Amino acid sequence: MTAAQFAALSPLVVLAIAAVAAMMLVPLARIEAAQAAAGAGLALAAGLVLLRVGAPAAPLGALFTDDGLARFGIAYACLASLGALIFLRTGVPAKEAPALLVLVALGAATLAGAGHAATLFLGIEIVSLSLIALFAFRLSRQGLEAAYKFLVMSGLASSALLLGVALIYAETGALDFVGWTGHGALAALGTALLLAGLAFKFSLAPFHMWTPDAFEASPASAAALAGVVSKAAVAIVLLRLFLTAHLPEPVWSSGLAALGAASVLVGNLLALRQPQLPRMLGYSTIAHSGYIALILASGAPRAAEAVLFYLGVYAPAMLGALCVSAALGRAPTLYDLHGLIKRRPLEAIALSLSLLSLAGLPAAGGFIGKLYLLHVLVDRGLWLLLAIVVAGASLGFFYYARFFTAPFLGQSHDEAEPLPRVDQGLLALCVILIVLFGVAPVVLIDVVRLALP
Amino acid sequence: MALIALILLPAVGGLIAFFIAGQGERERWVAIATFALMLVLLVAIVAGAPEGRWYAQVSYPWVPSFGISLDFAMDGLSASLIAISAGLGIISVMASWSEIRTQSGLFHASLCWTVAATIGVFLSFDLLIFAFFWEAMLVPAFTLIAVWGHGDREGAALKFLIFNAVAGFGLLAAAFALASMADHMTFNAFELAEMKLSTSVQVWMLLGFSLAFLVKLSVPPFHAWLPEAHTLAPTAGSILLAGVLLKTGAYGLFRFAPMLFPQGLAAVSPYGIALGAAGALYGGLVACGQNDAKRLVAYTSIAHMSIVLMGIAAGVHYALAGAAVEMIAHSFSASALFLLIGALYERTHTRDLRQLGGLQQIAPRFAAAFALFCSALLALPGTANFVGEALVVVGIFQVNWVFALLALSTLIVSVIYATRLLKGLVFGQPRPNAPLADLNWREYWPVLVMSLATLVIGLYPQSLLALLEPAIKAALVLPLP
Amino acid sequence: MTGSDLIGMMILAAGLFAIGVFGVLARRGIMFQLIALEVALSGPALGFVAAGAYHADPQGQGMFILVLTLAAAEVAVGLALFLRIRRTAGSDDSDIISGMKG
Amino acid sequence: MASLLPFVPVPALIGFLVLSLMPVALSRTVVIALGVGAAVLPAILFAPVAVSCLEGGCVAGAAVPILSIDVGVFVAQIAMSLDPLSMVTGGTVALVAALVLIYSGAYMASEPLPDLRRYFALMNLFLAGMLAVVFAADVILLFLGWETIGLCSFMLIAFYTKLPKAVSAGRKALITTRVADAFLLAGLMMLFLSAGTTRLDGMLAAVPAMDPWRLAPIAGLIALGALGKSAQFPFHTWLPSAMAGPTPVSALLHSATMVAAGVILLARLAPLFAAAPEISAMVAMLGILTAAAGALIALIQTDVKKLLAFSTMSQIGFMVLALGLGAPAVALAHFAIHAAFKSLLFLSAGVMSHASGGSTAIEALRGARYRQPWAFWSFAIGAASLAGLPVITAGWYSKEAVLAAVWSSGPCGVPLWLLAATAAMLTGAYAFRVVFVAGSQSADLAAPPWGGAAVMVPLGVLTFVAVVGGLSVGALIGFTGGAPEHIPLLPTLLGAAAPILGVVLARQLVRHPRELERVAHRLRHVRAFRIEILYYYYFVRRFRTIATVLGNADGTEAAAQAAALRRESIDAPGLAADDPLGRAFGGEAAQPDFIARATDGQTPVVRLVSGDPVGRILIVVARVFVGSFVARFSPDQIDRGWMGFAGSFGHAWEQARRLQTGRVRDHSLWIALGCAALLLYAWGTSWR
């Protein structure tokens, strides 16, 4: 274990220790101590990764690759999980939430660096199991229902993924991504199943059924983890497969294109008249996964940069929206949002800006994200997909408009207690990030350029 | 640098108005000061302008990897449109002095931000920045309608937002397709203009671009958002919508269609003229059947904007000059009518032509103002509208006299709805024991300024035509004179 | 281990996977659905062993063990959920717990 | 003094600006003084210009440029023409306008101050516009003036804004003339495009070079435009209802000057029409048709102003006939003389009706000879001049010139002459019918003597012109470039006999009114007329409902409400109100006789014929077009289309939402289907 190898793995080690510490602290001390330990662990891991930016890649064998993409993935997972930790409501009997949250971050970090089937499967299972526990975290009827459904469906998806990997393994004789080059029938079938398994985690249609229930029933931070952290990790795995593995081209690109197009249409259509904010956000994550899948499916030279940029812009918007949703109580509807600007100006502006960014309107990061998406599609001349994206964005524009205009209209109704200081800090950070990426996208583009080879 | 200041000034003005919105009229005066300052800055730029077409030009790289740069330029056409936007800004603040009571800080901020975004549209020559301001213009305009409108204002505002934003996505996609066809990716309109594209590609690109412009120009069948948006918006909202926002569609078509796709426009020109003529006739006929005064004026805007489309699609020099003059004339006549109907609504709380009437006896100033602007509606010679429409019709006579006769028929339909409006409001018996205060100073002076402008341009169009000449020459497509 | 044997084993693995999926779809009992999940997961496990044997590569068996352990972990969480759902929903029928629609 | 010409209309324009825009309040006398002064000043300014022109200063085609507008591609030059034609017409307009304004100073004195101020402002604006039309040497100034007088006529007809009938009459006038203006604009534009310049003389110079197939549409369109303004046949419906305006307005606008604007334009563009013979023939036909029809309808009018309106229409028919036959000078001469005696008739009729309580029915004028001797005798002399009694009246000389032109205008001259002569005879008849009624005895003689210098002076001057003016007809024709026709003795004698015959016929009609009633009664039972009534009754009733529905676009319940309103015979607002037929079909309380209810008690023949049947049919046809066509547009179908399209997404969401059943097994089914689809696709592609 040379010093470089240890430094490369140190973020994962730190996360593991933090998870164990958070679990140990629960019976011994109050919940806040566990939350602090989790936060410290996440922050330390993120710090360690950021220190190694630009350092040469340490040779870690096939299981884990330590390149720029992995570092971007780990840093992204840690920071997003830290954000989710902030608006984690801890007033519930079960106190293991912070520990589970760190475990999800750990799983996402392993996925980010995964270069071998084993680490891929390990990472997916860690994320899935922790998410199941987090969905059932409130022990409410709906929470248990969402957790159970997620369990059954992720079990099926994982077995499909494994069968796919087994078939590719049978064809190519290799389990690490680099070795996966084969054009036989087995490889094609294996790729299809692999794609199905990953598409489930990525909540692409028709594997998207779990997302709306998870967003509605589970606490907002669990939804944030599922919607942002795990989605980003899977996106990075897809990107790595796209960059390194040479799986049969037709299955891979047109499969992803079909799934992406389906999820853009389904996600936007089903969110059209949703009265509830979290459920609407659930459907919009499906749509955004669709957009990212389309970027990957296009296979344009700048697709990788586009994916990372889109993820970078997507995180603050989704975290901001979910934090406001958490602040407004169990499952806020359009009715609760009326007149929010008068009672809670910061939440109203944060929610509106996040939804503006998700909708892709100018003056918000999402606009440049959509820019990349259009550029990639136009570059490869995929006119049909372009039409679908424009149609999806237009549909999407309707339901986002309903929600981001609600706070300014009508009279406010109830008096909810003010948001704790740290949550307001997070919202302010999200607002600043959204506007920064909207007005000066060069900042994020350079970060993304750094991460890519 | 002055051009960027021209955009930032209303933006910052809006912010100041938003934050100092307390009791009293502070934020109203801030808004008026902002618009006045803009006019002064504009005059300074035009006065100090070097020889040649462009009064000022500036370019800053924004996202070099995509070839997006903030390049703004101002010539005669954009200068006059910006002057109108600032002027209408002042007039809308004065018009809503007593009408807007709740959240007046946010109201004046949205006014300033709408004007800021439209000026961004009038100045930007980078297609993406153009699309950026095109979409940014919608959000403050939306709040103007949604928060301070009447009746089902949310529905109308949402309809406005969705129509224009979806068209905006079309514009974005078309801009992208065009930019990526250049060898090194760039959005600069001048560089893209040099690109030699085949006619069929140009036609497709033109359709992508003109979708957004036609929706904003509200030419039937894309006009469905305009009647509700104009009728249910507050007075200031209607003035800005009619006077400024409609012009961005016309400006976009006038500037970019001939510059980027000359052959495409020539190929599509007959269909454009036909669409314009049909739209003008449709708008006029529907206006004849309306009973709500504001809705009637909204449909007349649709008819006038279709005439502008005809002018631009014809592509000959007369028609383009006519289209440009008609754009500016319509700003004056539509805004003045909305101001007057809004003032009438404030006093009588009804816009129904069957209940109003008899202004002749009780409010002579109202009657005189309505008479002048109704005659502008029916394009009476001596008003700027006639100069615009006559030049467009002469231009179209050169291209195809069948369409010209169709265009003339809109002149006849315009008489019917103009006299209907006049009969409903000015003539007839006033309602018994309903005292009506005549125009106060806040409403009298803007109407006077606008009527003077209409008459001056009407009687001596030379003043405006000289200003617009370079922009018209640049937009010439067909080899005809 | 010839190519045709490999194909045969792979077909068997796929068969097991199919049975597992069908089990989840056909039966409404939560306990039975968990059992079906186990059968579904055993399919790929067999596939890994067969592929490893065909390529004479120990990694196959390594993956087999990994699959088994994680399947066990999953079932453990599943059973815990099963107990909790039976107490709150009062029945072990998976169709009853479908509160969230649309 | 030619440079003075552009300043002639300026005082009238200043009068308008001061009276309408000056925010300061003016007293009654100041308003009247300002209004009348601003109208008289142009006549005074015009005198020196006319004198210099008479000394040979003006030759055809001379022009005084005012300003030029550079429209990028070419320079448009606005100028006023200084040729005999504009001298004659300008002089007439200025003189008649000055006199009518002086008269209205007294006539309108009883109006409230704001209305009075508006009246004088609009009359001055009209005078400025009319002078612009008359003097214009280029198309832009011509059309500017043309539309201004159109707008002023709308505003002045609707001067009594409280009367819905006046407002709708004004509106009808504006819409009809506006339709004609559109044709005129089209014609002028095509002429401009082919000639390349906006100057009239430049255009006329380019006419010979143009090929005939392009020239015909241009001439046709311009002719239609001009005839519309002059209330000739297809566009004549607005003139009778335009009598709803005050009498001085009818005197100045709708008899002397505005309606003749079309004639002046056709005279100025005479070379263009000379080059298009078939269009001139059409114009001539329309002219003679209007002349004859107008005279016939005027014969049975019961209202003196309507009678004079139809008489104006028929006299202008004569002028148009002369123009069509290629004798512009004769037409202009007739215009000048006609302006004088027709305004005299209107003004004196105004005085007589003013004395008899303001009603303009002919019966009310009975006995005016003893109440208002001065007004009655001026009316009689005007009527004589209108009828064209030989030698002693000016009307005879100008009408004789027209008949001579008709007689010697080529092959079909003689039949045309016969028709024109009968029209002249009928003119004599209707003119003198009023004179005899007004001259007969009547009971109440105690009307207050009304008038004063402001009334007497104009009447005196006009009477003088109406009698002595004849001598100048020959000079006028020569001056404006026409050659006096020498026709054989017989047609001149017959021409002279026609008006005398008309007077005898008028005597008969007045002495035995009952014959007319008896003839009418016998006709009533004739099957032909009965169907007419049924068709008319049904036809109009159905479209009144459409008109009320159109009036309020909110659909059915508004129509029902409007119908209910009408049942209590309150006038439903919207288009239904401005029905020129009056509320004949208001459906008052029980009317015993079915036909009587249909025709408001008067005998059908008189009722039908007296109301200018052609006009009514045109109105109903227009109503049908507007009603059925526009009604289809009012709820804006495209807007409904878009809302339907948006609604469809709502339904799509409804269906898609049902897929999300919430049961684990259904969700897992979707996963299985997804895997199956991907596998199938992969297996398919792996074959390649």
Tell me the per-residue pLDDT of D411-461, one tens digit each, with 9 for 90 and over.
Answer: 777 788 888 888 888 888 888 888 888 887 766 655 565 667 778 888 888
Bridge partners, residue B69, by sequence: B61
Which one, of D169, D158, D153, D231, lies nearest residue D582 by Cα?
Answer: D169
d(CA A449, CA A451): 6
Task: Summarize the confidence of residues D17-32 as an average pLDDT.
Answer: 81
B465–D114: do the CB atoms touch at under 8 Å? Answer: no
- Chain B residues closer than 8 Å to A397 by CB: 161-162, 165-166, 169
Which residue type sits at D93? Answer: V
Smallest CA–CA distance, residue A88 to chain C, in Å, is: 22
- Chain C residues closer than 8 Å to D662 by CB: 98-101
Q: Would the ipTM clear 0.85, i.e. be above it? A: no
Tell me the per-residue pLDDT of D111-125, one tens digit each, with 9 for 90 and over.
Answer: 888 888 888 888 999
Smallest CA–CA distance, residue C23 to chain D, in Å, is: 10
- Chain A residues closer than 8 Å to C6 by CB: 170
Q: Which chains touch D (3 or more CB pairs under 8 A)?
A: A, B, C
CATH topology of domain C3-90: Helix Hairpins (1.10.287)
**pLDDT value, residue D583:** 36
Which one, of D117, D111, D123, lies nearest residue D162 by Cα?
Answer: D111
Contact between A219 and A88 under an 8 Å Cβ cutoff? The reply is yes
By CA distance, what is A375's nearest residue in B? B176
Contact between A206 and A156 under an 8 Å Cβ cutoff? The reply is no
d(CA D268, CA B149): 56
Smallest CA–CA distance, residue A155 to chain D, in Å, is: 10
Q: Tell me whether D661 touches chain A (CB under 8 Å).
A: no
Task: Summarize the confidence of residues D316-328 as an average pLDDT.
Answer: 88
Task: Summarize the confidence of residues A21-35 as an average pLDDT.
Answer: 85
Q: What residues have CB less than 8 Å from A291, skipping those under 6 apart?
A: A260, A264, A310, A369, A373, A389, A392
Tell me the per-residue pLDDT of D617-639, one tens digit each, with 9 for 90 and over.
Answer: 766 776 676 667 666 776 777 88
Tell me the per-residue pLDDT of A199-242, one tens digit each, with 9 for 90 and over.
Answer: 999 999 889 989 998 998 888 889 999 999 999 999 999 999 98
Which one, of A16, A2, A120, lies nearest residue A55 by Cα?
Answer: A2
**pLDDT value, residue A201:** 92
- Chain D residues closer than 8 Å to A258 by CB: 681
Q: Which chains touch C (3 or more CB pairs under 8 A)?
A: A, D
Contact between B188 and B124 under an 8 Å Cβ cutoff? The reply is no
Which residue type sits at B359? Answer: L
CA dist list (Å): D231 to A443, D169, D174, D308, D334: 76, 14, 12, 14, 17
Bridge partners, residue D361, by sequence: D303
- Chain B residues closer than 8 Å to A441 by CB: 63
C100–A121: do the CB atoms touch at under 8 Å? Answer: no
Q: Tell me whether B60 touches chain A (CB under 8 Å).
A: no
Determine what percent of chain A is predicted with pLDDT higher than 70.
Answer: 98
Tell me the per-residue pLDDT of B399-452, one tens digit each, with 9 for 90 and over.
Answer: 888 888 888 888 888 888 888 888 888 887 777 767 777 788 888 889 989 999
Of the candidates C33, C47, C84, which has its C-beta nearest A163's C-beta? C47
Q: Tell me whether A335 touches chain B (CB under 8 Å).
A: no
**Structural domain spans, chain B:** 1-168+223-254, 268-481
D653–A188: do the CB atoms touch at under 8 Å? Answer: no
Smallest CA–CA distance, residue B296 to chain D, in Å, is: 11
Of the candidates B157, B166, B180, which has its C-beta nearest A379's C-beta? B180
Of the candidates D73, D114, D574, which has its C-beta nearest B354's C-beta? D574
For residues D54, D59, D61, D64, the Cα torsion angle rounded to the nearest 10 degrees is -60
Chain C residues interacting with chain D (CB cutoff of 8 angstroms)? 21, 24-25, 28, 33, 94-95, 97-102
Q: Indicate the pLDDT class of residue D609, thresholds 50, 70 and 90.
A: very low
Q: Say how far residue B321 (Cα) sits from the centre of its chain.
A: 16
Determine what percent of chain D is predicted with pLDDT higher than 70.
Answer: 80
**pLDDT value, residue D419:** 86
Tell me the per-residue pLDDT of D536-589, one tens digit each, with 9 for 90 and over.
Answer: 455 555 555 554 544 443 334 444 454 454 444 433 333 333 333 333 333 333
**pLDDT value, residue D559:** 42
Contact between B97 and B236 under an 8 Å Cβ cutoff? The reply is no
Cis peptide before A206 (omega within 30 of 0): yes
Q: Which chains touch B (3 or more CB pairs under 8 A)?
A: A, D
Q: Tell me whether A370 touches chain B (CB under 8 Å).
A: yes
CA atoms within 13 A on the CB side of B101: 3
Question: Does the global pTM surpass 0.90?
Answer: no
- Please determine, for residue A279, whether its predicted confidence score (pLDDT) is greater than 80: yes
A361–B135: do the CB atoms touch at under 8 Å? Answer: yes
Smallest CA–CA distance, residue C98 to chain D, in Å, is: 5
CA angle, residues B474, B476, B480, in degrees to nearest 5: 145
Q: Indicate the pLDDT class of residue A93, thresholds 50, 70 and 90.
A: low
Smallest CA–CA distance, residue D671 to chain C, in Å, is: 10
